[in-house]
Structure 1
Amino acid sequence: MCRYAMYGPYKDIFACFVCRKVYKQTSRFEIPKGKYDGIVHVCPQCQAPMHDMGHDFQAPKQTDIKQWEKIELLYQNGYTYHSCGCGGPGYRPSRLQEVPEFLNAQRKFENEGEALLHRLLQS
């Protein structure tokens, strides 16, 4: 059985990209159904909306700006650190300069024609 399902509920990890800090917030499983959807977690320091990063998120040092930029870029493209606790969230690039190549390799296409056109333009 999955670790997070077995020993939960765990607090959710939210990140503030403005302050470069993380905070654990009340889990969606600790709040009655229907009430969690309207909750917006805001940063206690700057009041900016925070982003749900997943239980497997390990925040870099606050002073490591390039790593925070990398994490924000991945988040904006739909990559977080959610998993069931068994195998982790999967591969994530370790450096900011690797992110464009990673996103290009992970790109999904609407149909075969779009995929073919993309491959032809890459050649």
Structure 2
Amino acid sequence: MDPTRKPSQLYRSKWACFHCRTAFVRYIRVEQSDQIRCLTCHTKATDMGYLFEPPRRSDYKQWRLMQLLAQHQLRYHRSGMIPKIRYLITENDKASYTEVQRNLMALYDDDQQLKKKEKREH
């Protein structure tokens, strides 16, 4: 769910089901976002953002990476997220699962250090 959206405002987004590896588009209100279920298997779906391009259903590796990104709150809600995910985290979709995990940890470590530095300056 995009945190900048106002309540009761309709928005379009792509949703992913990591259980059956499907994606679909829904127009919903922000307050309904935790109620969206997969159309195929009825498990809870994840809002991946309107710019999300789902991998092929048979591409287990890419779906597993997309699930990892979603668990770290990295979604395709803004156009700036595409290069951040593609180049910094997944290394042009060539990084292995463990390399992506390492890149995510490095990214979060850099964020934590930046926040500490900002606190010290204030």
Give TM-score, length-normalised by structure 1.
0.67
Aligned amino acid, residue 25 of structure 2: K
Equivalent in the alignment of 1:60:
55
* Separation (CA, whole Å) in 1 of partners of 2:65 and 2:107: 16
Equivalent in the alignment of 2:31:
37
> Aligned residue pairs: how many?
95
* Separation (CA, whole Å) in 2 of partners of 1:90 and 1:55: 15
Task: Tell me if the contact between 1:15 and 1:21 (Cα under 8 Å) persists in the aligned partners.
Answer: yes
- The structure with the greater share of residues assigned to strand is 2
Q: Which deviates more, 39-48 or 69-78?
A: 39-48
| 2:94 corresponds to 1:99 | no
Task: Tell me if the contact between 1:82 and 1:89 (Cα under 8 Å) persists in the aligned partners.
Answer: no
Q: Which has the higher contact order (CA 8 A, sep 6+)?
A: 1
Larger radius of gyration: 1
Q: % of aligned pairs identical?
A: 29
Give me the CA root mean square deviation: 2.1
| 2:76 corresponds to 1:71 | no
Which stretches of structure 1, 4 residues or longer, exceed 3 Å deviation after superposition? Answer: 87-90
* Separation (CA, whole Å) in 2 of partners of 1:61 and 1:10: 25
* Separation (CA, whole Å) in 1 of partners of 2:74 and 2:104: 10
Give TM-score, length-normalised by structure 2.
0.67
Q: Which ranges of structure 2 fall in alignment gaps of 5 or more residues?
A: 1-9, 118-122
